[in-house]
Structure 1
């Protein structure tokens, strides 16, 4: 019985963290906006497996929101400062506006 309690207490916090990460990702995918790229930079961090780079973009939406988003390297290379972008619900990253 006590092993079950210990198991539940150790798995509970992990499950909560995973649920928070999943809900954040779902919110990002459901988000929609149009705007302009205001900045690009690579952020790095050092973890267990060494340094890791994160491609980041600053976007000012047409509604005036300032966003800092992480994008994949392909999106990072395809968009520059001043580009108009659109992010539709269901898409992971914004794309250049047509």
Structure 2
């Protein structure tokens, strides 16, 4: 019985953190904006499984907000500073505006 209580108390906070991360990801996917790429960089780190790269972009939305997002390498290569971008609701990454 004490082991069961300990297990529940230790898993509960972890489940809450995972739920918060999942809801944030859903919110990002439902976000929509148009704007301009104002910066881009690659952040590297070394972890347990070796080096990892994170492609980052800063976007100034037309509404005035500044966004710093992590994108996949294909999106990073296709967009440069000064490019106009649009992100549709449900899309994972922004794309170049036509």
Query: Which interval holds the TM-score relative to the shorter structure?
Result: over 0.9
Q: 1:37 maps to which residue? A: 37
CA shift, 1:68, in A, is 0.6
CA shift, 1:45, in A, is 2.2
Q: Which has the larger displacement, 81-90 or 12-21?
A: 12-21
Q: 1:89 maps to which residue? A: 89
Q: Does 1:54 align with 2:49?
A: no
Q: 2:18 maps to which residue? A: 18
Structure 1 gap ranges (5+): none
CA shift, 1:83, in A, is 0.5
**TM-score, L = length of structure 2:** 0.95
Structure 2 gap ranges (5+): none
The alignment's C-alpha RMSD in Å is 0.9
Partners of 2:78 and 2:55 in 1: how far apart?
12
Number of equivalences: 98
**TM-score, L = length of structure 1:** 0.95
CA shift, 1:16, in A, is 1.2
Partners of 1:48 and 1:64 in 2: how far apart?
39
CA deviation string 1:41-85 (max 9, x = no partner):
001223222321100001000011111100000000000111100
Partners of 1:95 and 1:84 in 2: how far apart?
8
Partners of 1:12 and 1:45 in 2: how far apart?
30
Secondary structure of residue in 2 paired with 1:93 = coil
Runs ≥4 residues deviating over 3 A: none
